[in-house]
Amino acid sequence: MELAYAKEDAQFRDEVRSFLDDKLTPELRRRGKLMTSVYADHETTMEWHGTLFDKGWVAPAWPVEHGGCDWSVVQHYIFASEFAAAGAPPLSPMGVGMCGPVLIGYGTQEQKDFYLPRILSGEDFWCQGYSEPGSGSDLASLQMSAVEDGDDYVCNGQKIWTTHGQYANRIFCLVRTSKEDIPQRGITFLLMDMDTPGIEVKPLIMLTGEHVQNEIFFTNARAPKRNVVGRVGDGWTVAKYLLQFERGGHAYAPGLHTRLERIRMIAGEELSGTGERLIDDRGFAAKLAEAWSEITALEFTEHRIMSKLSHGEAPGAESSMLKTRGTELSQRLTEIALEAVAHYAVPFQPHATCPGGPVPGYEAPEGSQAHAGPDYALPVTSKYLNDRAGSIYAGSNEIQRNIMSKAVLGL
């Protein structure tokens, strides 16, 4: 049996490659390869967003009538694979990958007409207001209140782990509009402007030293009632819908395969003038082979989910499977990469990498971009530290296993 792309898919692949060759500058490629977070820095994100918007490829998974692309499942996967292989930086998922699909599924026509074009163009940059201190994986216990006052809701409370909240001009929040016996009831999905009086953003610095996350305080901050998405008190349903896209609305495998090949390249380098190569160590080679097998298995699951998405279906419980396996395999690769670069993993050199945000308090060497060790080793330690959060964000992997056991196995 011969496995090959159909003629039209091969032509599409060539179109994507040609676009990347033309528009993905050496500097953007460099930033993509030296990323230490799952997010590119804000400047890189917006530069690449603008390029994709001009091409019409910002939100290919959206319905065509809202600015998406009329692609087959195979073409969507070709797109993701080619972008990963080329080292293209990712876009922020908060608008295109989360708020946009929710508005398409639950928003009013007025909300769609206003917000969707602004998400596509990059005029609006969104952040997510879900987690609170004490309400992360147990999200239903959230306490941020929204009390009716005329045509507005008056909001008080706190959100935490808000990615790139320091840059966002809008936030989608889960708020409690009533207290019920069942905590999932009485939660409402609400859109807010970040320049609203009473909203204050404070930085949270990560293990890598980066300012990517934030905590946000709401003190008598007002949001108009027309900014409710879905029904009042039914925000839990909207939130679950969004989380399916956050957890399973994108492909992990292409990026994981690209990272694995990079590790394979590192392992092929000579070890400190000894003439030996780590790739020749049978134990290390077995780790690479095992990782490849598991990533490939994940890839087939992604194919099934992309088929669902192409037919207008939400990812369902499979999104929890993707999130769990994708983040755990990503963590596995960071561990293998640490082993591959050995002592070059020690220096802290954020000036020579591309962090997901500024690194407060760090002073780069004067007058140069000098660094210790080979370029391929620069992001490895910071990526390892950053990826520790992967099995926690978007719902901890323990919670995902609970979802799978209930929804799939009926336990």
CA distance from start to end of the chain:
40
Catalytic: which of 215, 246, 302, 318? Answer: 246
pLDDT above 90: percentage of residues in the chain:
62
Query: What is the pLDDT, as a whole number, of residue 2?
Result: 42
The Cα 104–Cα 238 span in angstroms is 11
Q: Work out the mean pLDDT of the chain and round it to a whole number.
A: 89
State whether residue 284 is helix, strand or coil. helix
The Cα 287–Cα 295 span in angstroms is 12
Q: Does residue 1 register a pLDDT over 50?
A: no
Q: Does residue 310 register a pLDDT over 70?
A: no
Q: What is the set of domains in the chain, with CATH numbers? A: 7-103 (1.10.540.10), 125-234 (2.40.110.10), 242-362+371-407 (1.20.140.10)
Q: Does residue 174 register a pLDDT over 50?
A: yes
The mean pLDDT value for 400-405 works out to: 83
Query: What is the pLDDT, as a whole number, of residue 369?
Result: 67
Query: What is the pLDDT, as a whole number, of residue 172?
Result: 97
Query: What is the pLDDT, as a whole number, of residue 309?
Result: 62
Taking only the tens place, the pLDDT of each residue in 110-163 is 999 999 999 999 999 999 999 999 887 778 889 999 999 999 999 999 999 999
pTM exceeds cut of 0.95: no
Which string of DSSP letters, residue by residue, matches 286-319?
HHHHHHHHHHHHHHHHHHHHHHHHHTT---TTHH
246 counts as catalytic: yes
